[in-house]
Amino acid sequence: MNTHIVFFLILAVIAIVCAVLVLALKKISHRVLSMAFCFFAVAGLYFLLRAEFIGIIQIMVYVGALSILFVFGMMMTDHKNVGFGPERKKVHKFLAFIGVGTLLGFMLYGIMGMNLPSNNEQFIGSAEAIGVELYGNYVIALQAAGILLLAALIGAIVLARKEAE
């Protein structure tokens, strides 16, 4: 087995386990920490794909900024009295575990059975090439995403001000 496949399987299992822990853990602080580890695993997968720029952006934006945003939101809200739904029965938990395990087994079987040609060419992508594409061919989409984020920010401010009053 190739070392890339071993690292891929390790990072994929870490990402899947951490994503399941985000849903399964009780405390919100543990959920945020599990989410950060899931983002780290996804960044590792980007590095395996030789997309170092996207991996660094994943670490800076998601692990850094988004996790800190969730920690600040957690600190500023009263989340001790909030429930996450009714407690599930053990039968439901067992069936969900069996279903997820079966899905994971099928996915691993499919991944291990793939016959991909080896590509030893060096990836010739850079931050400059990504910038030229973003501000060249996709400038309208980039501006639309910026306007959408601005609208979300204004909506969050309006909602926060109504709660304060």
- For residue 78, report the phi and psi dihedrals to the nearest 5 degrees: -95, 95
User: For the residues 129-152, what does the mean pLDDT come to?
Assistant: 89
Average pLDDT of 57-70? 86
| Cβ-based neighbour number of residue 152 at 10 Å | 10
| Phi–psi pair at 91, nearest 5 degrees | -65, -40
Would you give the DSSP letter of residue 26?
S
Name which of 10-14, 62-66, 143-147 the model is least confident about.
62-66
* Cα separations in angstroms, 113 against 14, 34, 35, 94, 109: 21, 30, 30, 28, 6
Taking the whole predicted model, whether its pTM rises above 0.75 is answered as no
The residue that leads in pLDDT, 65 or 83, is 65
Q: What is the pLDDT of residue 145?
A: 92
